[in-house]
Amino acid sequence: MMSKVSDYSHFPVMLGECMNLLAIRPDGVYVDCTAGGGGHSKAILERLGRGGVLVSIDKDPAAVRHTSSVLEAVGSEASHHVLQMDFSQLDDALDAFEIGHADGILADLGVSSHQLDTADRGFGYSQDGPLDMRMNPAALLSAREVVNRYPVGDLARILREYGEERHADRIARAICRRREIRPFETTADLAAAVASAMPPQARREAQHPARRTFQAVRIEVNGELDALRQLLAAAAGRLADRGRLCILSFHSLEDRLGKESFRSWENPCTCPRDFPHCVCGAVPLGKTVSKRPVTAAPDELEINPRSRSAKLRAFERIIS
């Protein structure tokens, strides 16, 4: 029986499914690129024994502190390290511990429930806080700069591309008109301006009309898609033979990046389709573990609303 999501913790999405796909060996080397509340990291560490290694990464210092204490409490014989860094620097993280290749790499993308629910981090539209949205509070770009300074065309593009927002132009124009009177300072301020810019039928949607705008601004502030591209560019080269990369994504943009990378790693041939056989000589890096993404089981969907949009894909590196 699964327990309800607690007030602090981020409830780890598809925990069992991730562990199955990572196929953890007790003496293997694993990287959790998105430590968050430490749920997945803890489950990995519990499966490791002497000789095993876990490197957990997060760019949010609060997540790093929390995960460190969660992992300390496991009392494992395996070595474990928690680093505050961007997962786009995967190579640096592994080089720091002289790790050549990992047996498993996990990325559970996006924000944690803890980040969303902590009002003064400024991620959420459902409670008021400063317009911030930085996963790393030391980063230079915050939501305040994006919303108050970006030209209307850039705002509209971000809303369209990162939020898949149909009313992107209309919302961007409304934001720019409003900020000329008074700059945006709070999440409630932005949420209200977005809601009032929406056509009436969109305002009546079951979910908050500002949710796509908030997603888009958050992705821009944290450079989420570029970081994922860089992680994907590095990850295949850092997997050991039979090592697996698992990507847990929460919107179609992230899922597409993972899916396309896996497809090109599995079939890197660039020869024209009508060539009788391959002449480019590109060698497949491995295989996709399941053709279709894994989604959350009904019992998880019932207790963890965040799992609704989750898609899990895995790739297995084959060297020999």
Ligand X SMILES: C[S@@+](CC[C@H](N)C(=O)[O-])C[C@H]1O[C@@H](n2cnc3c(N)ncnc32)[C@H](O)[C@@H]1O
Q: Is 60 in the site for ligand X (CB under 6 A)?
A: yes
Minimum CB separation from ligand X for residue 15, in Å? Answer: 7
Q: Which is nearer to ligand X, 111 or 159 (CB)?
A: 111
Nearest residue (CB) to ligand X, 57 versus 155:
57
- If one asks whether residue 108 binds ligand X (CB under 6 A), the answer comes out as yes
Torsion angle of the four alpha carbons 300, 303, 306, 307, in this order, in degrees rounded to the nearest 10: 10
d(CA 16, CA 18): 5
Between CA 177 and CA 181 the distance in angstroms is 7
User: How many of the other CB atoms lie within 10 Å of CB of 268?
Assistant: 14
Q: How far apart are CA 22 and CA 26, in angstroms?
A: 12
Q: Taking CB under 6 A as the rule, does residue 112 contact ligand X?
A: yes
**x/- binding map, residues 213-252, to ligand X, per CB under 6 A?**
--------------x-------------------------
Task: State yes or no: residue 34 binds ligand X (CB under 6 A).
Answer: yes
The answer to whether 317 and 242 are in contact (CB under 8 A) is yes
Residue 224 vs 316, nearer CB to ligand X: 224
Residue 258 binds ligand X, judged by CB under 6 A:
no
For the CA atoms of 67, 70, 71, 74, the dihedral, rounded to the nearest 10 degrees, stands at: -170
Specify the DSSP element, H or E, that contains 55: strand 53-58
- Give yes or no for residue 110 binding ligand X (CB under 6 A): yes
Phi, psi of 174 (to 5 degrees): -65, -40
- Would you say 93 or 210 has its CB closer to ligand X? 93
How far apart, in whole angstroms, are the C-alpha atoms of residue 261 and residue 280? 18
CB of residue 44 to ligand X, shortest distance in Å:
10
Q: Does residue 103 interact with ligand X by CB under 6 A?
A: no
What dihedral do alpha carbons 259, 227, 304, 263 form, nearest 10°? 10
Asked whether the beta carbons of 62 and 117 are under 8 A apart, the reply is: no
| CB nearer to ligand X: pick between 171 and 219 | 219
Does position 39 bind ligand X by CB under 6 A? yes
Tell me if 132 contacts ligand X by CB under 6 A.
no
Looking at the Cβ atoms of 12 and 163, the one nearer to ligand X is: 12
54 makes contact with ligand X (CB under 6 A): no
Q: Is 10 in the site for ligand X (CB under 6 A)?
A: yes
Q: Which residues bind ligand X (CB under 6 A)?
A: 10, 12, 34, 36-40, 57-60, 63, 86-88, 108, 110-112, 135, 227
